[in-house]
Amino acid sequence: MKTRTVTRHRWEPHTVDGETELVRVAYDVEVPLPPRDWDQLVRTAVTAGACLLVTVSVIWSTASIGDLLAIVVVSAAAYGAAVAFDTAWIMCMAVEWLCRYDPPRARTARRAGHVALLLAMGAVFAHGYIADQMVIGAVGALVSALAKGAWTIATSVHARPLDERTQQWVAKRRAKIDGQRAMIPVRRDLLRSQALIAAERAALAGPDSSPDADPDESGQSAARPDEDDQPVPSGPMTVKDAVRTALDSGISDPDRVLAYVRKVADANAKAETVATYIRRAKLAG
């Protein structure tokens, strides 16, 4: 049985001048060597081969399509645009891999990748046709097809298909979590909108709109009292009017007067302000 050497550490006492301390000491042990995972090696080789073919395809398509487009545009723009042909179907393959547990979305990416691949192959063949080298154009177009096929096979090696019931469970869980993630920017946008509305209202109200700026110009409210023993307001009123209405209705308790004022006139009315109006009303009466 094959083994391999592994370095480990342990604490051992070490004494110097009669004083002992624990020190960390390294030592080697032989452990069994696990058997080689040939399946993983083959998967890695397949993936590396697919990446190599994709790289060759991108280089060949870029050179071919770039030379074709350079007939009418500058070379830099032509070769830059040529990269888009193979990049399109490569991106679709990547999306297909990410959506491998979401069949509808993966199917859309797969179809888009096939369309992008056909366009790239057509452009390569068109280059051979323009150069009067149709055979070379056809063979060159197959390079992209081979790369696409190799990558599809490599993807199938790594894929782990789910049964129908598990697939439905994954879809429901993903939909729930995706909904929660989608609400993050929605809530952020709503909070931002509310802040803007509040800021605009504060700016339009002006500095003199505070209910404490002047007892005679307090905020107004059309709310109606719930208690039957309180007078029904006839319309918007100030704190002063609310105090007078409460006293005329037989409410003499300062706390009840304050509660009535806050209900029909100003929810933020101060007790001191109400008490002042009560004293003035009693002196005037």
**Phi-psi sector, 34: left (phi>0), alpha (psi -120 to 50), beta:** beta
Which pLDDT band holds residue 273 (cuts at 50, 70, 90)?
confident
Which pLDDT band holds residue 62 (cuts at 50, 70, 90)?
very high
Angle between helices 271-284 and 254-264 (to 10 degrees): 110
Whether 221 contacts 233, CB under 8 Å: no
Which pLDDT band holds residue 154 (cuts at 50, 70, 90)?
confident
Q: What is the pLDDT of residue 162?
A: 82
Q: What is the pLDDT of residue 12?
A: 92
Whether 137 contacts 131, CB under 8 Å: yes
The larger pLDDT score, comparing residue 225 to residue 180, is at 180
Among 10-24, 146-160, 187-201, 243-257, top mean pLDDT goes to 10-24
Tell me: the pLDDT tens digits for 97-142? 888 888 888 889 999 999 999 999 999 999 999 988 889 999 999 9
Please give the Cα distance from 140 to 149 (Å, whole number).
15
What Rg do the C-alpha atoms of the chain give, in angstroms?
A: 40
pTM: 0.54
Q: What is the pLDDT of residue 225?
A: 43
Domain definitions of the chain by residue range: 3-32, 38-158, 215-284
Please give the Cα distance from 148 to 57 (Å, whole number).
9
DSSP string across 87-132: HHHHHHHHHHHHTTT-HHHHHHHHHHHHHHHHHHHHHHHHHHHHTT
Across residues 196-200, what is the average pLDDT? 84
